[in-house]
Structure 1
């Protein structure tokens, strides 16, 4: 059985994205170079940021993909993350809203990768 153990995001500027995700996740990278950066998430999944210019075969534009961040603190924690990200200048794509699976908002990084924060069932 195959199990996914890493996620790669193709980015325009690996150093900029490394700084963005380091601050967003509150983590230090386990590897950082000019064209590549990798974080070990608390779940053990690795998040890699790879400069798209050097990827072979060439990377396609982002779309149809999002990183999801479930929070345990309900609506209040979603609201707090939303306020924090807005204060950091992170672009919000979808405002705070209640949907079938819970309470959520969607933002994006500088390359347009979608970032969803949600409280399941809230």
Structure 2
């Protein structure tokens, strides 16, 4: 079986979401149209932003039903990213906190998709 290598988020405005993710990820999309944009991530995974108004078949899910997770190496990196993202105006849904899987915080993108940053617990 093949592993998934493409994440698609349904967004209200691909143009606005593209600007947001360009700034957040520090890279330009490799593909862009009025209804879709795609970013190539360093891991090899692709991130697509598709207009929720034009996706076929029509999507019935609402924003906030899933998360993009960013694993980092340390609690200090979690705190630094939280400070950076807060400074950019991202809404924090969960402040940095210890959980059973590690130290984490959750922010929201403009469409309400969850963005989790975490430093995994040592096992």
Category of TM-score, reference length = shorter chain: over 0.9
The match for 2:69 is: 68
The match for 2:92 is: 92
TM-score when normalising by structure 2: 0.94
Runs of 4+ in 1 over 4 A off after TM superposition: none
Shift of 1:56: 1.3
Aligned Cα root-mean-square deviation (Å): 1.1
Larger displacement relative to structure 2 (50-59 or 10-19): 50-59
Distance 1:57 1:31 in 2: 21
Q: Deviations over 1:71-120 (max 9, x none)?
A: 11x11111010000001000100011001111100011111100000011
Q: List alignment gaps of at least 5 residues for structure 2.
A: none
User: Secondary structure at the residue paired with 1:81?
Assistant: helix
Q: How do 1:103-122 and structure 2 match up within 5 A?
A: 103-121=103-121
Distance 1:92 1:63 in 2: 13
Shift of 1:62: 2.4
Distance 1:114 1:120 in 2: 18
The match for 2:28 is: 28
TM-score when normalising by structure 1: 0.95
Aligned length: 121
Distance 2:34 2:84 in 1: 28
Distance 1:94 1:31 in 2: 32
Shift of 1:58: 0.9
